Copies of this chain bind each other. A is one copy, B any other.
Amino acid sequence: MMTPDRPLRSDAARNHELLLDAAEIEFEAKGPDVSVLDIVRRAGVAKGTFFRHFASKDDLIAAIVGKHIGALIDVAEHLEGAEDAGAALLQFLTVASAQREQYDVSFLLRAGESDDRVSGVRTRLYDSVSVLVDNARTAGAIRTDVTATDVILLMCAPNHVVEYLPSPAPDLWQRYLAIIFDGLRPAGAHQLPVPAPNDAL
């Protein structure tokens, strides 16, 4: 990442983009455990170049995660004023799942404390989802006992469960999102046995 005091040299700026793009593709294809070597090969640069641009592999991940979550926050903020609050929340969850980067959330929640960029973004996401959840609750679109933390945690389940299949249909996550979202609805909701976790996201 690095916030350059002076602008990057032209070749450096290009390589930075190449690395980011390559990393995104590789992560998508092989999950968060791709090797730096794979990324570097795809980008067409040498390993040393990678570490000139990113302090570590985790630093790269933080950069990408920050970008994705940032995009997600934009979506959420856009939806804050929607007329149909229930549809807005579902829309948000759909976009989140469609991004397909379920490791985002895991990284967001794990590595958050140690990385300033990520922890700031995390707070913003939480705040924005809170608004969507509150709106949906007020509108009677979801049960009253569900919190933003619940939603953020459940957000990644559709993509995750699908990964258990050897070759899942690319839109299968929609099926499980639909089921889980039905579970969030007030109709026929049963008492939840355990209180929500602290919002200590």
Which A residues are closer than 8 A to B by beta carbons?
Answer: 105-106, 109-110, 146, 150, 153-154, 156-157, 160-166, 168-169, 171-172, 174-176, 178-185, 187-197, 200
Contact = CB atoms under 8 A, between A and B. Distances in A.
B109 A165 contact: yes
A105 B153 CA distance: 20
A161 B156 contact: yes
A188 B197 CA distance: 27
Contacts of A150: 175-176, 179
B146 A153 contact: no
A176 to B, nearest CB: 7
A184 B109 CA distance: 28
A159 to B, nearest CB: 11
Contacts of A168: 197
B179 A192 contact: yes
A49 to B, nearest CB: 30
A175 B191 CA distance: 9
A191 to B, nearest CB: 8
Contacts of A179: 146, 150, 154, 180, 183-184, 192
Contacts of A181: 183, 190
Nearest to A181: B183
5 contacts: A110-B164, A146-B179, A160-B161, A174-B193, A174-B194
A150 B106 CA distance: 23
A101 B176 CA distance: 21
Given A154-B176, A174-B193, 19 more contacts: A105-B164, A109-B166, A146-B179, A150-B179, A156-B164, A157-B157, A166-B200, A169-B194, A175-B192, A175-B193, A175-B195, A178-B191, A180-B180, A181-B183, A182-B189, A182-B190, A183-B183, A183-B184, A187-B187
